[in-house]
Amino acid sequence: MIQVENLTVRYGGVTSLDGLSLVFEKGTCGLIGPNGAGKTTFFNVLSGFVRPASGSVRAFGEDLLALPHFRRARWGVRRTFQTEQAIEELSVYDNVAMMSSPLRGAARRADVLGAIEFAGVGAPPLARVGTLSAGQRRLVELARAVAGRPRLILLDEPAAGLPDEETAHLAAVIKAIPEYTGALTILVDHDMSLVSAVCETTAVLDFGRLIASGPTAAVLRDSRVMRAYLGTAEVL
Amino acid sequence: MTVETKGGAAATAAAQRLRLLRRPQRPAHLAVVVVFAAFALFALPPLMSLYYTGYMTLVAIYSIVTLGLGLLVGRTGLYSLGQGAVLQIGAWTGARLLFATSQPFPVVVIEAGLVTMGIGTVIGLPALRLRGLYLALITLMLAGAVTVALATVNFPNGGGGFTGYNGTSVHIPPIRRPSIAGTDPAYYRYAVVVALLMFALVYAHLRTRPGRAWAAIRQSEPAALAAGINTTFYKLWAWSLASFITGVAGAMLAGQARYLYSINFSTQDSIILLAVALMGGVYNLWGAVIGALLMQLLPAILQNLGVSYAWLTILFGLGVLQVLTTAPAGIADQFPKDARRLGGLLTRLARARRPGPPRPPAAPPGTPPQAPSRGEAT
């Protein structure tokens, strides 16, 4: 469980997160909102790239903001990026093995290979990532995110730019993450079919504030969400 | 947890598969290295005159320096224009220790590496907050400062005190060499072995966790941070490792030269070093060897032919221009590609010339018998 209270982030005069308070319980949770709503900023705060002006984040009882960013991965925070960040010159295996892990030796190797098989990368572990397709690289990133006993997995638009059949595979993998790792997974995506297929609960941000949260289907029908996201309220 | 029971057996099987995969890794590559090392150690010395033996010793020593520079530039993206200064610090320390103590030569070499590493790390701590051009500028200034300082202090030549300079440059004792490598050919072999050890040290780093961390840092610092890599620590590690091996090279240089004069070192060396490292190729360990050949053997050959050294500066300038525009991975990467392309072209030419069964759509007589290149075909 992750508990966010009164989180505020400012970039100069821009308030990106404005006193955000929300709770994600377990499983796979969606986080949606129009561009500039503060979704990626929220991820950046959790992974330590951005220091908030105020507020607190407690994840499984730990004060996350007190940890330096490279410690958070050791603790169990994982994230992927909007633009895929698989390391081209390394093999699939090394890309996943670079993730900080409490495991050592054979157990660690097994964990890394298990993650690669779980993500269904579809390339041999020693293949160079530079030779893989865009979809496969996304899966390498996903494998990296589930390796090393994660506790909190943040997926930032993992399906961006993927064709439909690859998105379907990705959805199946993301859906299986909580069962495979036991980690709380937060998914940011603009693909509503992916979000509703994968997430039991969803929270919606707009201008750095929480405007709705709850079961995904109900949230997506919420009139405030429609207004913020689709701009339909004015039309109707 | 349910995780372990579920994926456990499959993952163990997969781990075993990988271990099987890992052992031979690149047998062809290893064979090439062994043949190359054997050639450098056993075949080359009897073939070389004393003139070239001296220069090839320098090639072995400078390949360690370009190796360190390649590590910084190619693996972590840190541009240093101060490696010549680091080499001077290593040479000074090595010479001083060889005069002051009677420790075995290898011990002094390692000590010189460690002292240089210490100094390099202290300098690296603030410098690593900078990147790109600014880091290059700072390191270049450092190179200038060290050159000036050592010109004032002078290199040790058997005197007493901290500096070990006896105030004169005539009738001075030579810097000692290891007892097993007193002659020039023996010292050449010694230098090759030291270089091989340094390459092995760096290779071992690249194959394991630091190598992964450096690759991640170079391509994407956010991804490295998100993977829990302490980027400052690993950058400093690369910096320290490069300083260590360059210090080792410095001590080896002291033994090679036997008499060190500050006039032999200039700030320009640091710039040439970066140029040859880039030309050789910083993403490949062979690039370090090629860079050292360019820096030390090429001038020797030109000098032997009576060509002015000034041409070399122009050549290096053109070489760097070529690297920046067409071959970012340097000769080590470009040469095999070009050789393969040339091989392909020659085979096609040979096939076209051979009066075998005539191919029906023969090219008109005016056009060259050249098939479209691989790139155009797709």
Q: Which of A70, A85, A179 sits opposite B220 (nearest CB)?
A: A85
Contacts of A114 in chain B (CB under 8 A): 7, 10-11, 14
- State pTM to two decimals: 0.83
Place of tokens 């680091």: B86
Residue B293 to residue B304: CA distance in whole angstroms: 15
Which residues, listed in sequence order, are joined to residue A2 by a DSSP beta bridge? A24, A59
Q: Does B229 touch chain A (CB under 8 A)?
A: yes
Q: For residue A71, how many other CB atoms are within 10 A of its CB?
A: 15
Architecture of domain A1-76+151-236: 3-Layer(aba) Sandwich (3.40)
Query: What secondary structure letter does DSSP report for B208?
Result: S
Instruction: Identify the pLDDT of residue B154.
Output: 86
Instruction: Identify the pLDDT of residue B377.
Output: 38
Q: Does B14 touch chain A (CB under 8 A)?
A: yes
Q: Which of B14, B17, B212 sits opposite A94 (nearest CB)?
A: B212
Contacts of B80 (CB under 8 A, 6+ apart): B69, B72, B73, B135, B136, B139, B242, B274
| Segments making up each domain of chain A, as ranges | 1-76+151-236, 86-149
Contacts of B242 (CB under 8 A, 6+ apart): B68, B69, B71, B72, B80, B83, B86, B120
Q: Is A49 in Cβ contact with B21 (below 8 Å)? A: no
Instruction: Identify the pLDDT of residue B123.
Output: 85
Give the residue on B whose Cα is nearest the Cα of A73: B228
Is B369 part of any domain? no
Domain extent at residue B62? 41-353
Residue B236 to residue B372: CA distance in whole angstroms: 48
Instruction: Identify the pLDDT of residue B211.
Output: 92
Give the residue on A whose Cα is nearest the Cα of B220: A85
ipTM, two decimals, is 0.87
Q: Which of B14, B229, B283 sits opposite A113 (nearest CB)?
A: B14
Give every residue of chain A whose pLDDT is below 50, as ranges.
235-236
Contacts of B11 in chain A (CB under 8 A): 110-111, 113-114, 117
Instruction: Identify the pLDDT of residue B17.
Output: 61
Q: Is A70 in Cβ contact with B11 (below 8 Å)? A: no
What total of structural domains would you count in chain B? 1
Is B247 part of any domain? yes
Residue B320 to residue B282: CA distance in whole angstroms: 12
Residue A20 to residue A211: CA distance in whole angstroms: 10
Tens-place pLDDT, residues A115-171: 999 999 888 888 899 999 988 999 999 999 999 999 999 999 998 888 888 899 999
Residue B271 to residue B79: CA distance in whole angstroms: 11
Backbone φ/ψ region at B347: left (φ over 0), alpha (ψ -120 to 50), beta: alpha
A interface mutation test: which of B29, B219, B284 has the most A CBs within 10 A? B219
Using alpha carbons, list the distances in angstroms from residue A227 to A35, A117, A212, A230, A231: 14, 41, 12, 6, 5
Place of tokens 């009066």: B355
Q: Is A49 in Cβ contact with B225 (below 8 Å)? A: yes
A204 to chain B, closest Cα gap in Å: 24
Query: What CATH number is associated with residue B262?
Result: 1.10.3470
Per-residue pLDDT of chain B (378 residues; tens, 9 = 90+): 344 444 555 666 666 566 645 545 567 788 899 999 999 999 999 999 999 999 999 999 999 999 999 999 998 888 999 999 999 999 999 999 999 999 999 999 999 999 999 999 988 888 788 878 898 999 999 899 999 999 888 888 877 778 888 777 777 888 999 999 989 999 999 999 999 999 999 999 998 889 999 999 988 888 998 899 998 899 999 999 999 999 999 999 999 999 988 888 888 889 999 999 999 999 889 999 999 999 999 999 998 898 887 888 888 888 889 888 888 888 888 888 888 999 999 999 988 877 655 555 544 444 444 444 444 333
Instruction: Identify the pLDDT of residue A95.
Output: 92
Contacts of A90 in chain B (CB under 8 A): 212, 215-216
Residues A204, A47 contacting (CB under 8 angstroms): no
Residue B290 to residue A101: CA distance in whole angstroms: 38
Q: Which of A82, A83, A41 is nearest to A189 (CA)?
A: A82
Instruction: Identify the pLDDT of residue B98.
Output: 93
